[in-house]
Amino acid sequence: MSPSATSAPNRSSAPAAAEPAASPLRTETPSECHPDLDQYAVPDLVDAFVDDQFHALNAVKAARHRIAAAVQAAVPRIAAGGRLVYVGAGTSGRLGVLDSVELYPTFSWPKDRAIGLLAGGHQAMFEAVEGAEDSLEQGRVDLEAAKVDARDVVILLAASGATPYVLGALEAARAAGALTIGIANNPAAPVTLGAEVAITLNTGSEVISGSTRLKAGTAQKIALNTLSSAIMVRLNKVYRNLMVDLQPTNAKLLRRAVSLTMRATGAGEDAAREALAACNYQVKVAIVSILKQVDVVAAQARLDAAHGSVRAALEGLNP
């Protein structure tokens, strides 16, 4: 499949490696706001950390148009069978893995279509793997091993924007024709300059100098939540503002499935449970079955014809 027409134009090929910085990265620059942090009383210490997080939200808000561009570019590829592939190291990589694994219980998104590549592998999710992020070649190898192609969307995360592992993956993703979305916390970073869609979350210096698990990480988490959730809404995983394509994998989610069905249809609990039991707790199917007063087979057929859109299935329209 050729890249979507909504994708940003290709830029020059990804940089082979990060160039030495002429000046310290903003994320590494010591904060001038709290030079005596170690002497703060506990309430003041907590206030300093909490207050600083507002900068994370402001950084994401400033990048909202780039996030929207990423969503628009990603949806056609994902709808055509592509995958979301997250790549990162350290905190950034763990945030990518977290976003990937939460898509299945939240949206019934297939596990094999949301992949997290973390420098250092599985072990690095739980403890630091020293030096793993420094290998440009390993980034290439891991990305190529995932068999990425032109339908896939590769989200490359690096607070510095210059992590060699991520840049290696970027180079391989571009060569494979995948859509590349670069997310960094420093302006004009190699990962954003090399990606088709650049998202800069300019969070500046940290309360604890260089600790980008703080507001840089918060900004990345907000951006990922926004990006993947917006994609899922566009893929008909949400009806109104209800999470109607969840996987009820535990007692809490079973209760949530019942509650969502009741809220969407106005049905009582017994009727909601009966409809859900008949369709193996597929909330979408239960909603259409109740509101259109058809059996679950007919409800599923309506949803299939509407490409999974509950609204279109109820209105008898093509989405």
Those residues whose C-beta lies under 8 Å from the C-beta of residue 262, and which sit 6 or more positions away, are 268, 269, 272
Residue 82: what residue type?
Answer: G
The model's pLDDT over 5-46, given as tens digits with 9 standing for 90+, comes to 333 333 434 444 444 444 578 888 778 889 899 999 999 999
State the pLDDT at residue 21: 43
The structural domains of the chain, ordered by start, are 37-234 (3.40.50.10490), 251-315 (1.10.8.1080)
Provide the 10 A C-beta neighbour count for residue 121. Answer: 12
State the pLDDT at residue 13: 40
- Please give the Cα distance from 277 to 285 (Å, whole number): 11
* Mean pLDDT of the region 49-55: 95
More confident residue, 32 or 183: 183
Q: How many CA atoms lie within 13 A of 317 on its CB side?
A: 5
Specify whether the CB–CB gap between 154 and 143 falls below 8 A: yes
The model's pLDDT over 102-156, given as tens digits with 9 standing for 90+, comes to 999 999 999 999 999 999 999 999 988 878 899 999 999 999 999 999 999 999 9
What band does 317 get if pLDDT is binned at 50, 70 and 90? low
- Please give the Cα distance from 103 to 171 (Å, whole number): 26
Whole-structure pTM value = 0.87
Tell me the three state secondary structure of residue 306.
coil
If you ran DSSP here, which 8-state letter would residue 295 be given? -
Catalytic residues: 102, 133
With 90 as the cut, is the pLDDT of residue 190 above it?
yes
More confident residue, 168 or 2: 168
CA gyration radius, the chain: 22
Specify whether the CB–CB gap between 89 and 121 falls below 8 A: no
